[in-house]
Chain A
Amino acid sequence: MFLRSSRPYSEKRQANKGSSKRKSRGENMIGVGKIKQYSNVLDKPLSKGKQEVSLSAFAFLFSELVQYNQTQVDNIAELERRLEDAGYAVGARVLELLCHRDKGNRRETRLLGILSFVHSTVWKVLFGKVADSLEKGTEHEDEYMISEKELLVNRFISIPKDMGTFNCGAFVAGIVRGVLDSAGFPAVVTAHFVPVEGQQRPRTTILIKFAEEVLTSFSLIVTLFL
């Protein structure tokens, strides 16, 4: 079921390194995410984040982002990786924004703290609701899962049969990875459809597999009950 996590971890680490290199290059080119308190463009204080756009506007943009990325890849794994990269950029900035706005620049330093921050605060800000669940993996110590009956980004998307288990939630997995990584908790994050008994549609599970160094420094993890 968890196809991607079965890949050797070192290989994934390499892939991640590659993408963060790209990211930093992008950052030099364009300053999205910089909070411009002193610029003449935005003399107004940083918004409280109460402004809204229609879900449709987002859905059309996201759909086009997926379509564009489809033209840039040869296979589905590559498409997943690119959507994840795009999400990563969003995640890194969300953390920056929320720490600045809600936490007075303090950052979460505990593993459980950052997980619950993603599951509740980040989710609420980006998707308007707390995620349906956050669980600890039963088979592996280093795995956590955030599940959602229906991811906002997947609301209007039907995956063609020939794309197998592909999930546009890769974008959301990227957001989660971006938040975790920027907060100092490197992890491999992937999105998976999981069938639910009695439901026509599968739910999406965001699987978080922390890097070894994260776990060793937090070896005293107690059971989560959220």
Chain B
Amino acid sequence: MCMSHQDSIALKLSLIDSEKKRFPMAAIYSLYIINKSGGLIFYKDYGSAGRMDTNDSLRVASLWHSMHVISQQLSPTTGCSGIELLEADTFDLHCFQSLTGTKFFVVCEPGTQHMESLLKDIYELYTDYVLKNPFYEMEMPIRCELFDINLSQAVQKDRVAMLGR
């Protein structure tokens, strides 16, 4: 809504090595889910490019949470919902924030398409396999087998769609 392609900041962060040539299928590098207080509740990386240890992923999550808030404050008009897309030379970061404040973001190969709809799908999977699970405690790290299974299927489907281009 507020930072579209034209005005998004292309930060030259080298969070992820440009290893995409070696892994042409790995269009998605990683997925994060952050709770409303900025805590990382889910992290998954796909392929070996840019794999992060737990501390680093927690740090990235909390940094992104802050940047997202800052971007809302930077907006000259009110009602900004924060950064949706961040483009860098080695990756794109797509972020979706639900009205309840949970953020879902993927780090992917620059120019990867359909990430908004993938994030929407992941949000729905979250409402099914996380929120309807009686053993999941709100705001806590997600450890739900069915969420993992269905998430891999969704991501896999996306990759197949990519290959079909």
Contacts and interface: CB of A to CB of B under 8 A. Distances in A.
A56 B146 contact: no
Interface string A38-70: 000000000000000000100110111011001
A163 B135 contact: yes
A200 interface: yes
A15 interface: no
B134 A67 contact: yes
Interface residues on A, range: 10 to 19
Contact of B133 (A63, A70, A163): A63
Interface string A147-169: 00000000011111001000010
Contacts of A59: 132
Interface in B7-31: none
B149 interface: yes
A160 B146 CA distance: 11
B132 A158 contact: no
B128 interface: yes
B73 to A, nearest CB: 35
Interface in B124-160: 128-129, 132-135, 143-147, 149
A183 B143 CA distance: 41
A72 B133 CA distance: 18
A63 B149 contact: no
Label chain A's interface by main secondary structure.
Answer: helix
A157 B149 contact: no
Contact of B132 (A63, A159, A200): A63
Q: Which of A158, A163, A201 counts the most chain B CB atoms within 10 A?
A: A158
A195 B155 CA distance: 26
Interface residues of B, number: 12
B134 A66 contact: yes
Contacts of A63: 132-134
B139 to A, nearest CB: 15
Contact of B135 (A56, A64, A157): A157
Contact of B146 (A66, A70, A158): A158
Contact of A56 (B132, B147, B149): B132
A60 B134 CA distance: 9
A64 B136 CA distance: 11
B134 A157 contact: yes
B149 A168 contact: no
B143 A160 contact: yes
Interface in A116-162: 156-160
Contacts of A159: 135, 145
A156 B135 contact: no
Interface string A66-85: 11001000000000000000
Contacts of B133: 63, 156-158
Interface of B: 128-129, 132-135, 143-147, 149
Interface of A: 56, 59-60, 62-64, 66-67, 70, 156-160, 163, 168, 200-201
Given A66-B134, A156-B146, 10 more contacts: A63-B132, A64-B134, A70-B134, A156-B132, A156-B133, A157-B135, A158-B143, A160-B143, A200-B149, A201-B149
